[in-house]
Structure formats: C-alpha cells, structure tokens
Amino acid sequence: MKPIAKSSKLANVGYDIRGPVLDKARQMEEEGHKIIKLNIGNVAAFGLEPPDEIVQDMIRNLPNAAGYTDSKGLFAPRKAVVHYCQEKKIAGVTVDDVYLGNGASELISMSMNALLDSGDEVLIPSPDYPLYTAVVSLSGGTPVHYHCDEGSGWLPDLADMRAKITPRTKALVLINPNNPTGALYPDEILQGMVDIAREHELVVFSDEIYDKTLYDGATHTSIASLADDVLFLTFNGLSKNYRSCGYRAGWMIVSGNKKRAKDYIEGLNMLASMRLCANTPGQLAIQTALGGYQSIKDLVAPGGRLARQRDLAYELLTQIPGVSVVKPKAALYMFPRLDPKLYPIADDQQFAYELLAEEKVLIVQGTGFNWIAPDHFRVVFLPNTDDLTEAVGRIARFLDGYRKR
C-alpha cells in the first residue's frame, strides 16, 4: 500500500514552539522526570488565573451559549471591541469592521489566506512569532524576513525592510509588543512603518496581543491610530492580557483605507462564514473583559508578580558568562544571546535537546523564531521566582559545562 503522506503545502511550514523538543519533554515526563518549562506563554498554567469576573460570567453564560452566532460574532462583544478602538484612538471603526475568532491565531490565518496568491511576499520580523511565517507559507505566499536589531533593543530595521520590498510585496507584519524579544515600539518606528506601507501600498498586519502587558509604566500605541489612508488589520484577544489562552477568544479589527480593500474584505467575510463562527462562550468573555477593569495591570506594575519575575530572570541570565539579554519592556519573554565565541553552537535545536536531557529545563531555540543564527533562545518568565531561580541556575550549570567542552 502507498504510504499516506502529508500535503506538499506543508513543506515550508513549521511551528517549533510545539515542535520535536516538546515531544521529547513529554516523553521524559511520562518517564517520571519533572521538567521546568520556560517554553510556552500559557499564562493560566503558571497559577496566574484569569480574572474571576470572566470565569463567573463564563459559567453564567454557558447554558445560553450553545448556538452558532453571526460569522463575525455577537453584536455586544464586537461593540466592546469598537469601544476599545476608541480608547486606542483607532478611528472610524464600526461593529462591521470587527471579527471575533477562536483566538487571534484563527484570524491571522484567515486574513493571510484571504489575501495571498502564490508567490506574494509578506514582510515578517526576524525573530518572529512563528505562526506568521508558517501561515504565510501555508497560504501560498512567501515569507520575507526583515531584521530586528538587538543593538537597538530589537527594534525593526526600517532600512532592511525597505531593501526587501519587491513588486510582489503585499503586506507587512509587526508584532508590538513583541514575542519573542519583549520589545515595545516607539511612535517614530511605527510612523516609519506607516510611511513604508503607504509608499508601497502594503497592508499592515499588527499583532497587539500583549498591549496591556507593559512594564515600568510604559504605554502602547496602536499603529492603526497613526493613519487612515493605509489598510490595517489589528489582532488582539484575551489569551495574554486576560490570562485566558484556553477560552480561545480573539478579535481582528479592519481599519484605515477600507475603500481600497472592498474585495479583500469580501474574501475575509467569506472565510469567516465558512468556519461558521467563533466559540460563543469565548465571544461573551470578550464582552465581560473589555467592559470590566480586571486585566493584567496589577501583575505587571512595579512589584507585581510578572514584573518581579522579569527582573529576576534578567538579573540571573545576565550573570552567566557570555549571555546578554535586552531587558523586555513588555510581554512575557526574553531572547538571550549566547556569545558564539564561548558557545560555538552549530544546531540550536540540538542545544535545546541537550539542555532538556541534562538539566530538565525546556526552552525554545532561537531559530524556531526564524532568527538567522543558532545563537539565541527564548525564555518565558511565567514560572514563579523559585522555579525561575532553579531553572536559570540549571541553565548556568549547563552552559558552564558547554564552555568546557
């Protein structure tokens, strides 16, 4: 019998955050090993429970949430997103411009599928949240990575972005606040991206899922608030800011030059209808979350649990010889660099395997985020301070051994 092979569409599709190293970790857990996980931004799994108001409303709403809804979602939560846009100064958004999804992920995938023809290019940051590279490939497009510069706090290199534009470039992705680097983009950079998008008629996809997960009193600007003559798709949701990854509640806002995008919007509407609707309990949770006051604010404020964990992870990692880290201004991650002179790593997935096998610490290798060289890894600073101290201690011990090889 002929073997059943996967589709050739998957040839360039990967998602290393849940890749082979995680499979190995699962196997080790089954064998009874306890592993410290610095690999995934699953907030509630680290004792950071979702706001009680959301959980209670979810329970209350459940008996009446068994039906399909409109494909874009229920009116009231979409209206709550419109109000959110007003707060974020994204102009001209009506309920019609808001799509609810099973997490932002579904909408990101839908929006790329609706846009791209074979060979169309999309500018994606390097490092990236790898869903973008994967989904552009799966949609038949070509991911083209622009450089984010560690030396300037991981800000996008606008000159590199410009240099990579071709007649096939259709869109530009930014992740702000950023996963995996924790960067938060200043308005000048956002304005620079708007200028590039305007000049080259690019659609801007802005991922703002960490827009309330900000440290040191920082504020966040939505790029869509900076222009009305460029088409913006802005993605957000409850997963991180409201610690509800499992409720799969996200939204997408279409704003700016909608007139130019009539046909594209028709495509978005069709794909939204094909999947019928987002889960209804999750939609209702959006209404509760955006109408209330409970977000991640207290956890990221100075002295809050996440702020303390960020500071601790940064301090401990930067004490290790040959490890440097840009201190995150936002989100849940840092992306340490390993000096190649001290750590001549040829294959960083192998590095992650070895760290897991020797020290039972799970990280994700930098190339899993489409980073150019095997000299970085991502750390999630969600574990409590005791676990973080233990985990970074084990990383330090492992690196000490690595230097002596």
Contact footprint for ligand PLP (CB under 6 A): 41, 103-105, 129, 175, 179, 207, 209, 237, 239, 245, 250
How far apart are CB 175 and ligand PLP at their closest, in Å?
A: 5
> String of b and e for 233-249 (b: at least 16 CB within 10 Å)?
bbbbbbbbbbbbbebbb
180's CB contacts (< 8 A; 6+ apart) are: 127, 129, 333, 334, 335, 364, 366, 369, 378
Pick the closer one to ligand PLP by CB: 114 or 320. Answer: 114
How far apart are CB 16 and ligand PLP at their closest, in Å?
A: 13
Pick the closer one to ligand PLP by CB: 147 or 248. Answer: 248
How far apart are CB 203 and ligand PLP at their closest, in Å?
A: 17
Of all residues in the shown chain, the one whose CB is closest to ligand PLP is: 103
Pick the closer one to ligand PLP by CB: 209 or 356. Answer: 209
How far apart are CB 91 and ligand PLP at their closest, in Å?
A: 24
Pick the closer one to ligand PLP by CB: 112 or 399. Answer: 112
How far apart are CB 236 and ligand PLP at their closest, in Å?
A: 8
At 338, give phi and psi (nearest 5°). -110, 120
Per-residue three-class SS string for the chain: CCCCCCCHHHCCCCCHHHCHHHHHHHHHHHCCCCCEECCCCCHHHHCCCCCHHHHHHHHHHHHHCCCCCCCCCCHHHHHHHHHHHHHCCCCCCCHHHEEEEEHHHHHHHHHHHHHCCCCCEEEEEECCCCHHHHHHHHCCCEEEEEEEEHHHCCEECHHHHHHCCCCCEEEEEEECCCCCCCCCCCHHHHHHHHHHHHHHCCEEEEECCCCCCECCCCCCCCHHHHCCCCEEEEEEECCCCCCCHHHCEEEEEEEECCHHHHHHHHHHHHHHHHCCCCCHHHHHHHHHHHHCCCCCHHHHCCCCHHHHHHHHHHHHHHCCCCEECCCCCECCEECCEECCCCCCCCCHHHHHHHHHHHHCEECEEHHHHCCCCCCEEEEECCCCHHHHHHHHHHHHHHHHHHHCC
Pick the closer one to ligand PLP by CB: 121 or 128. Answer: 128
62's CB contacts (< 8 A; 6+ apart) are: 281
Pick the closer one to ligand PLP by CB: 363 or 399. Answer: 363
Pick the closer one to ligand PLP by CB: 103 or 336. Answer: 103
Pick the closer one to ligand PLP by CB: 171 or 399. Answer: 171
How far apart are CB 328 and ligand PLP at their closest, in Å?
A: 13
Pick the closer one to ligand PLP by CB: 97 or 128. Answer: 128
How far apart are CB 366 and ligand PLP at their closest, in Å?
A: 15
How far apart are CB 207 and ligand PLP at their closest, in Å?
A: 5
Pick the closer one to ligand PLP by CB: 208 or 348. Answer: 208
How far apart are CB 280 and ligand PLP at their closest, in Å?
A: 16
Pick the closer one to ligand PLP by CB: 82 or 209. Answer: 209
How far apart are CB 346 and ligand PLP at their closest, in Å?
A: 28
| Count of CA atoms in the C-beta half-sphere (13 A) of 43 | 26
How far apart are CB 125 and ligand PLP at their closest, in Å?
A: 10
109 closest CA partner among 275, 260, 255: 275
